[in-house]
A and B are shown apart, each in its own frame.
Chain A
Amino acid sequence: MVTYDKLIFELSAPGRRAYSLPKPFVKGYAMTELPAALRRKTDLLLPEVSELDVTRHYSNISRKNFGIETGFYPLGSCTMKYNPKLGEEIAALPGFANIHPLQPAGSVQGALMVYDELQKLLAEISGLACFSLNPYAGAHGELVGLMIMKAYHERRGDWRRTKVIVPDSAHGTNPASATVAGMQAVEIRSNPDGRVDLAALKAALGDDIAGMMLTNPNTLGMFENDICEITRLVHEAGGLMYYDGANLNAILGKARPGDMGFDIIHINLHKTFATPHGGGGPGSGPVGVTRELCEFLPNPQVKASDGHYYVFESAEAIGRISAFYGNFRVWLKAYVYILSLGRENLKALGGLATLNANYVKESLKDDYELPIAGVCMHECVFDGLKDKSTGVRTLDVAKRLLDYGFHAPTIYFPLLFPQSIMIEPTETESKQTLDAFIATMIKIAREAAETPELVKTAPHTTPISRIDEVMAAKKMILSYKDYLEDRDKQGEN
């Protein structure tokens, strides 16, 4: 296969054109009526290409992409499950696709109904009282949740609570969100089982603690068995519990964060509720809270009354955290997913994800170092190859997987182990796919022993081979202009 790496601008030939614009659905306006000051004086610098040029260009580009629809994507912590087409179909309906957030509420009752019903579904699923769907993604949800935590303490006149406890296994976004929210992250170590160390937690608690952020199951795929004791201790010390919903998939319908004692949570709709993600989004990170915190949820808010839906701004809210209501069409897809699966199937999903992860874990533990034995939840973590003598590292294994048509797992996270490989198969993969992946991982372990150079120099079959990561970090080429400048410079040398 010849590697295609052109930009569409490089195909441009003067005078070539191909377009048929759709009829405008907004009537009664003509471009010529625009005031002269608002009209362009120069031509648009668009590529001049034929329809065939465009079609070939994007077909070729798409062949360099790897997504869940190309192959197995076991990226730990990211829950790369299949995104059903039904969601896309519903979200593309003109009644949803062509509305505008500034339309009067009376003309978008259907969209507001989806808002209201989805927040109620999420409340039932999570065991919290009320939700805002406005946050744009998981980390944004974390920030909003911590702003609520902070506002809660400050409104009580308690200004000393500026610290947030995060375990050392936490997602990097947790301490980052605490910092952005103007608080200070306090890290506590995990115990040898990879769970929260109660002694370390007790030592960190005090009247300067605003709360604790916890993912359950945690990033090692371990359920926090002491969760009720953890939430009790934090509440006793006057703090609030924040649930990072990144791993909610594993316990969906079986256990509810609200029942465990969490006060604030975010849910990654783009993970647990199967909306597309990767490549930067769009995500959606609804935030849910207990009854006593409902007043803090951000504006604008949607409320139902007498069969009508209203948009309003609450004076008690922490303010606005989004331009409008969040990523509407992402929630639409999550709403479709929840309703089409229903209660029974939603309950089955975490069990299947857990079964898949344990199947992979047990099948690979002879060749890969399993630092924490026992049953895991929806994902499993290895600490590199069992045989460390070959010099083949986790990075090499991940690169070699690409040669066999698999997306690499998450590597070097969690930070608890030097050679972490984090595998999350999700419930949507078949036994056949898992078996093919397992066989390949075992084959790579054998290659590492017999032909280590082959693995250390992988990948060999991808359009771009091993990247010089140091160079990539130090010398960034971020635009076409930079690329041209760099190419000219190379030419001179």
Chain B
Amino acid sequence: MSTVLAGLKYSESHEWVKIIEGNIVLVGITDFAQSQLGAIVFVDMPDVGAKIVAEDEFGAVESVKAASDLISPVTGTVIAVNEDLVGEPELINEDAYGAWILKVAVDDMSELDNLLDKAGYEKISK
């Protein structure tokens, strides 16, 4: 069974958001998402400084099974991408909540209220 952590926010398209401080958040894909994808071989990430928009795609993950779009759970500016994933995309398989993909400065933090909490996400990730 896949893990869902308390304290994180989740999108229906299986991304998680973790607040670091203020309006700075980390974005990744859930343990359920990585288990469905299987061994991940490539992560396509936006450039630092790029604007991302909630519910729009911001990149893609490619596994041995399929390539899937990454859908942004928030609107804001990318302030860092996880460079470790370039050489070792399998980090997501090993620890989906540790292997963040983007660090984002969110425009409007109230947007996070639209996302699911642990209980809400558990319902759709069985």
Contact = CB atoms under 8 A, between A and B. Distances in A.
Interface of A: 412, 415, 418, 469-470, 473-474
A474 B88 CA distance: 10
A180 B11 CA distance: 29
Contact of B36 (A418, A469, A470): A418
B41 interface: yes
**The 8 nearest A-B residue pairs measured at CB:** A473-B41, A469-B64, A470-B39, A412-B65, A418-B36, A470-B41, A474-B41, A412-B66
Range of interface residues on B (Cβ < 8 Å): under 10
B39 A469 contact: yes
Contacts of A474: 41
Nearest to A473: B41
16 contacts: A412-B65, A412-B66, A415-B66, A418-B36, A469-B39, A469-B41, A469-B64, A470-B39, A470-B41, A470-B64, A470-B90, A473-B41, A473-B42, A473-B62, A473-B64, A474-B41
A389 to B, nearest CB: 13
Interface string B34-70: 0010010110000000000000000000101110000
A418 B2 CA distance: 14
A39 to B, nearest CB: 46
Interface centre among B36, B41, B42, B62 (most CB of A within 10 A): B41
Contacts of B39: 469-470
Main secondary structure of the interface of A (DSSP, over half): helix
Contacts of B42: 473
Contacts of B90: 470
A470 B39 CA distance: 7
Interface of B: 36, 39, 41-42, 62, 64-66, 90
B27 to A, nearest CB: 21
Nearest to B64: A469
Contacts, number: 16
Contacts of B64: 469-470, 473
A470 B76 CA distance: 33
Contacts of B65: 412
Looking at chain B's contact residues, the main secondary structure is loop
Given A412-B66, A469-B39, A473-B64, 7 more contacts: A418-B36, A469-B41, A469-B64, A470-B64, A473-B41, A473-B42, A473-B62
A415 B36 CA distance: 11
A415 B37 CA distance: 11
A11 B64 CA distance: 35
A173 B120 CA distance: 34
Contacts of B36: 418
Contacts of A470: 39, 41, 64, 90
Contacts of A412: 65-66
A418 B35 CA distance: 10
A207 to B, nearest CB: 21
A338 to B, nearest CB: 36
A473 B66 CA distance: 12
A412 B36 CA distance: 11
A415 B63 CA distance: 13
A208 to B, nearest CB: 16
A406 B65 CA distance: 21
Contacts of A418: 36
Contacts of B62: 473
B59 to A, nearest CB: 15
A469 B42 CA distance: 12
Nearest to A175: B69
A474 B39 CA distance: 11
A412 B66 CA distance: 8
B34 to A, nearest CB: 13
Nearest to B90: A470
B120 to A, nearest CB: 19
A474 B86 CA distance: 11
A469 B40 CA distance: 10
Contacts of B41: 469-470, 473-474
Nearest to B65: A412
A473 B39 CA distance: 10
Nearest to B62: A473
A229 to B, nearest CB: 28
Nearest to A393: B38
B93 to A, nearest CB: 9
A474 B62 CA distance: 11
A186 B93 CA distance: 29
A281 B65 CA distance: 23
A418 B62 CA distance: 15
